[in-house]
Amino acid sequence: MVSNGEADIAIVTERIDDHPELSKLTCDEWNHAVIVPKEHPLLECMNPLSIEDLASFPLITYEFAFNQGSSIARAFNKAHLDNPDVVLSAADTDVLKTYVRLGLGVGLMAKMAFDPEKDADLELVDAAHLFEPSPIWIAVRSDTYLRGYTYDFIEMFSPKLTRDVVDRILYTPVVEDFSI
């Protein structure tokens, strides 16, 4: 929607390199975690959890998790586990957790999406040692000037991205050197 001008900004966690019309503002990053029902056999593999242990179970994760270049795809490829058994993919974390609760597989999700109170029936296993952190970006069209309220939202979402910082990132002209 940002690409075609229907929206001013997008908050994204997956790569948008194939959209040259968009500029990215790095906001933060998130780490992965594994969720399983209590008493799940995976919990016996905690010395620490390895990517091979994880690959030995059916997996449930986000739709974009195994896109080329994702931190999950890179981790499995690095371990020469090119085709892990992804039995289901979900568009959001609540659906993913429901699949895990139904016993359909081991969940691989954003650690920050685990709520200890609401998810008390599940066990959270930190997987930051298995996967690189995933960035959170704000994407905007490269050829558009931002409105004041857009700057305000960006700074509210990521306080380090003040108007001056955003302008420097988006609108600083490229200096070309034609010297020989």
Whether the model pTM is above 0.95: no
Class of the CATH domain delimited by 9-28+135-171:
alpha beta
Does the pLDDT at position 122 exceed 80?
yes
Other C-beta atoms lying within 10 Å of the C-beta of residue 108: 24
User: From residue 172, how far is each of 24, 100, 164 by CA, in Å?
Assistant: 14, 47, 11
Predicted pLDDT at 67: 63
Nearest to 138 by CA among 6, 33, 18, 7: 7
Average pLDDT of 53-71? Answer: 81
Q: pLDDT tens, 21-59? A: 888 999 999 899 999 999 999 999 878 899 999 999 999
Task: Compute the residue count for the chain.
Answer: 180
Domains 9-28+135-171 and 32-132 agree in fold: yes
Note the pLDDT tens digit of each residue in 154-173.
999 999 999 999 999 888 76
Position 69 pLDDT exceeds 90: no
Query: Class for domain 32-132, per CATH?
Result: alpha beta
Domain locations along the chain: 9-28+135-171, 32-132
Stretch 133-143: mean pLDDT, rounded?
A: 89
Helices and strands, counts by H and E, the chain: 5, 8
